[in-house]
Amino acid sequence: MVELYDCMGVCGSGTDCDTLMECGMQDCELFISVTGFDEFNMLSCFLAKRMGAAHTIARIRNPEYNDKNSGFMREQLGLSLAINPELLAAAEAFNVLRLPSAVKIETFSRRSVEMIELKLKENSALDGMSLIEMRKEFKANFLICAVSRGEEVFIPDGNFVLKSGDRIGVTAAPYEIEKLLKKLGLMQKKARNVMILGASRTAYYLARMLLRAGSTVKIIDPSHERCTQFCEELPDEAVIIEGDTTKQEILLEEGIGSMDAMAALTGIDEENILLSLFASSQNVPKVVSKIDRDEFGALAENIGIESIVSPRNIIADVLVRYARGLENSMGSKMETLYKIMEGKAEALEFRIRADSPIIGKPLKDVKLKKNILIAGISRGRRPIIPSGDDCINVGDMVIVIAAGHRINDITDIIK
């Protein structure tokens, strides 16, 4: 690990004071504990804070800790941030099931602006169309802010020509995205009947979200203990089936072919990939697969599994956002950071402060670095897809798309 990532390593326990002292905890700016044990993470962060760490982050996965005592525990432990990868992964899966046409959905400014990623199918109506032609053809207020083609990612201008097979990023208000998808003939109905394979923590959180949204949920898992626990913890509307998810006859018997969507959320990446392929073979309209290992994620996309959720990558995004946020100057504050376009670019959101140098200037007069685009502005609750004549005001939330740059502050986008 030390050689692979060019970092320093110390062998020892994160709850041992001598080990923490050896790591220089008294001068630590940010301490992160993301082991697989909640109590270990909480104790190590508590000790690190007492020994001088300025900021501490703990991974806390247990629903009991997150649902009932999260605020009290963060205060008592001195935590700067508690992250729950399974809850975040469930939220990402829920967003995709809410708008099944999208491969991935990222939200900004309390959902006033969204960015969706779409994969252009063979013989797409957009094949060979420039972005200028697309804006004229489809009367919706949107912006194509990134395009992934093969191993390259582009921040396109109006003359950029789309091709079948491209993965495109679109920013707009949610209602404008729906309008665009309808005009493109890509709008799919929201997933109402959902089958979840694997009674994991992610499945628990996703089932709660779906049930609250009025969907029907069927969960299948081979563990009697887990099925019993889900029966006790989830509302009566959820159907829990004890059965082997790897047996096709069980999935067929439980009606996988009639489902609007299937989410493979077992703890084994390979199993999730195979289950997703089987669901696709049964013409399930939307398939979501939880995959942690990067090499399996790339494999899954290559064989046609488009919607992939990775708790590990979600954690990385949160941690990077927090670490970079500590480096913000007085001009802005980073609120959101997502890896997009299969990790080849970033979408960042900044809150603009009073001393930012870009306030009051028309965007056409702001000289941006290459491969950087201002993709959206949220002013109050009003979303703005910016043109060259728009200006940025104090308090605005500004969405930036960047490829090949490390952006910590809004000033980093200026030449």
Residue 345 pairs in a beta bridge with: 340
Give the lowest-confidence range in 20-34, 93-107, 326-340. 326-340
pLDDT for position 269:
94
Look up residue 124 and give its two tokens.
């797409």
- If we measure between CA atoms, which residue out of 405, 411, 413 comes closest to residue 329? 411
- Mean pLDDT throughout 123-143? 88
C-alpha torsion angle, residues 173, 186, 282, 207 (rounded to 10)? 10
- If we measure between CA atoms, which residue out of 12, 13, 59 comes closest to residue 36? 59
Residue 186 has pLDDT above 60, yes or no: yes
pLDDT for position 75:
80
∠ CA 148-150-154 to the nearest 5 degrees? Answer: 35
Q: Which CATH architecture has domain 89-184?
A: 2-Layer Sandwich (3.30)
C-alpha torsion angle, residues 340, 185, 385, 173 (rounded to 10)? -80
Task: Give the whole-angstrom CA distance, residue 326 versus residue 330.
Answer: 11
- 3-class state of residue 206 by DSSP: helix
pLDDT for position 148:
94
Q: Where in the chain is the domain with CATH 3.30.70.1450?
A: 89-184, 314-413
- For residue range 309-341, list pLDDT tens digits in order: 999 889 988 898 888 878 765 567 888 889 999
Q: For domain 195-284, which CATH number applies: 3.40.50.20, 3.30.70.360, 3.90.190.20, 3.40.50.720?
A: 3.40.50.720
- Mean pLDDT throughout 126-153? 90
- Mean of the per-residue pLDDT values for the chain? 90
- Mean pLDDT throughout 26-53? 92
Domain 2-83 sits in CATH 3.40.50.720: yes
Quickly count: other Cβ atoms within 10 Å of residue 373's Cβ.
24
Q: For domain 314-413, which CATH number applies: 1.10.10.10, 3.30.70.1450, 1.10.10.60, 2.60.40.10?
A: 3.30.70.1450
Residue 278 has pLDDT above 60, yes or no: yes
DSSP string, 117-144: EEEPPTT-TTTT-BHHHHHHHS-S--EE
- For residue range 209-262, list pLDDT tens digits in order: 999 999 999 999 999 999 999 999 998 889 999 999 999 999 999 999 999 999
Task: Give the whole-angstrom CA distance, residue 55 versus residue 49.
Answer: 7
- If we measure between CA atoms, which residue out of 352, 355, 320 comes closest to residue 336? 320
- Mean pLDDT throughout 408-415? 89
179: left (phi over 0), alpha (psi -120 to 50) or beta: alpha
pLDDT for position 130:
94
Residue 1 has pLDDT above 70, yes or no: no
- For residue range 196-212, list pLDDT tens digits in order: 999 999 999 999 999 99
Reported for 250-256, long-range contacts at CB under 8 A and 24+ positions apart, including other chains, are 250/220, 251/195, 251/197, 251/220, 251/278, 251/279, 251/282, 252/282, 254/195, 254/218, 254/220, 255/195, 255/218, 256/195, 256/282, 256/284
Residue of higher predicted confidence among 118 and 65: 118
pLDDT for position 331:
66
- Mean pLDDT throughout 26-40? 92
- Whether the Cβ atoms of residue 220 and residue 279 lie closer than 8 Å to each other: no
Task: Give the whole-angstrom CA distance, residue 243 versus residue 241.
Answer: 6
Residue 176 has pLDDT above 60, yes or no: yes
Give the lowest-confidence range in 2-16, 31-45, 247-261, 336-350. 2-16
pTM: 0.86
Taken in order 210, 61, 9, 1, the sign of the CA dihedral is negative
DSSP state of 343: T
Confidence of residue 135 (pLDDT cuts 50, 70, 90): confident
Provide the b/e sequence for 235-266 (b: ≥16 CB within 10 Å).
eeebebbbbebeeeebbeebebeebbbbbbbb
Q: Where in the chain is the domain with CATH 3.40.50.720?
A: 2-83, 195-284
Residue 273 has pLDDT above 60, yes or no: yes
